[in-house]
Structure 1
Amino acid sequence: MKKIFTLILSLAFAQAFGQTPAIVMQVVSSSGGYYKDVASGLNISWTIGEPVIETIKNTDGSVVLTQGFQQGNLFTTDVPNTDLPSLNFRMYPNPTINKVWFEVNNQKAKGDFLVEVYDITGRKMITQNLGQFEDQAIKELSVASLRSGIYLVKVRIGNYNSDVIKLIKE
């Protein structure tokens, strides 16, 4: 009788105190949210300023544990690399007061010589077609309408694009 009582008492203690509590995902952050659309199966979970995260590494540098709850079932998609032909050009004078000149030496580029000028916040300030481009040309752009400051310039000839160049207007 003692053995059965001890067995029942042991099972009762194991049942009462032997269970681990369910781990609930909690995030300590300044802001965040969760959106679920049942019809499309879309789930979005986000946080801003999750301050309590850490990556623990082995001595050989391999990742062992990464904390933080926004690292769940992630998947990546491949974005095809569409290399457009690059257009190298010279823009002078820089800094400038009223006008800039573009010098392009590209035997393959053909088409309209389009110039776009953006302010530092990304607003488009000037869009101008400087005419047809053939082989080698020097084109002129008036920037007298712009206030003093820093601007970003992009040139396109046909399907050739330039890098973005910084322009300083005095």
Structure 2
Amino acid sequence: MKKIILVFGVLFITYFLNAQSTIASSGADASGDGTSSYTIGHLFYTPNNQNNSLIVQGVQQSFAFQVLSNSEFLLENLILLTYPNPTSDKIIVSNSNNRFHGNLKYPLFNIQGKHMISGLIKEQNTQINIQHLSNGIYFLKVTKQNV
């Protein structure tokens, strides 16, 4: 009986202690303008929100920023109009920029992401026949062909 009370007492006391324990793979102390100690490999962590800031104890948060650039990248403006919406028989894609005629292709997807039809936008006003498709919501994706 004394063993049960002892085990219960130890569990009860450790429940109310605010001690931290962890299994860490590495750690050290860092100093500069202030001091900090850190560990790597925490299994548990506690976030603290104070004064519009967030401190996450026990989690190493790294940020890596990379700048990608391409000197040959040219910004091209393409204005397309699709109408009528809603429709039951055809969609008209109106391309106002003559430079892109014949260089644009499209796939049409249903709401589940299944490819339904695809084709080329060859004229200023290209008609896409959708009479054979069931009623629903569809997504039209227009991309420039690799020419």
TM-score between the two structures when normalised by the length of structure 1 = 0.50
- Separation of aligned partners in 1, 2:141 and 2:74: 17
Match status 1:26 vs 2:43: yes
- Per the alignment, residue 62 of structure 2 pairs with 74
- Separation of aligned partners in 1, 2:89 and 2:20: 72
Please list the CA deviations of residues 107-131 of structure 1 after superposition, one character each: whole Å capped at 9, or x if unmatched. Answer: 4424333121111222221111243
Please list the CA deviations of residues 70-116 of structure 1 after superposition, one character each: whole Å capped at 9, or x if unmatched. Answer: x4252324252667534221111111111111111114424333121
- Separation of aligned partners in 2, 1:84 and 1:146: 35
- Separation of aligned partners in 2, 1:21 and 1:140: 67
Match status 1:118 vs 2:105: no
Question: Is 2:90–2:129's contact at 8 Å kept on the other side of the alignment?
Answer: yes
Distance 1:100 1:21, change over 3 A: closer
Question: Is 1:99–1:142's contact at 8 Å kept on the other side of the alignment?
Answer: yes
Distance 1:96 1:22, change over 3 A: closer
Question: Is 1:110–1:157's contact at 8 Å kept on the other side of the alignment?
Answer: no
- Per the alignment, residue 50 of structure 2 pairs with 57
SS of the residue aligned with 1:102?
A: strand
Task: List structure 1 segments (4+ residues) > 6 angstroms apart after TM superposition.
Answer: none
- Separation of aligned partners in 1, 2:108 and 2:102: 19
SS of the residue aligned with 2:66?
A: coil
Distance 1:103 1:110, change over 3 A: closer
Q: Return 5+ residue gaps in structure 2 as ranges.
A: 1-18, 24-41
Q: Return 5+ residue gaps in structure 1 as ranges.
A: 1-19, 28-51, 160-170
Match status 1:148 vs 2:135: yes
Deviation of 1:139 after TM superposition, in Å, equals 0.8
TM-score between the two structures when normalised by the length of structure 2 = 0.56
Question: Is 2:90–2:130's contact at 8 Å kept on the other side of the alignment?
Answer: yes
- Separation of aligned partners in 2, 1:77 and 1:26: 26
Q: Provide the identity percentage.
A: 24
Question: Is 2:104–2:121's contact at 8 Å kept on the other side of the alignment?
Answer: yes
SS of the residue aligned with 2:137?
A: strand
- Separation of aligned partners in 2, 1:88 and 1:55: 48
Which residue type is aligned with residue 47 of structure 2? E
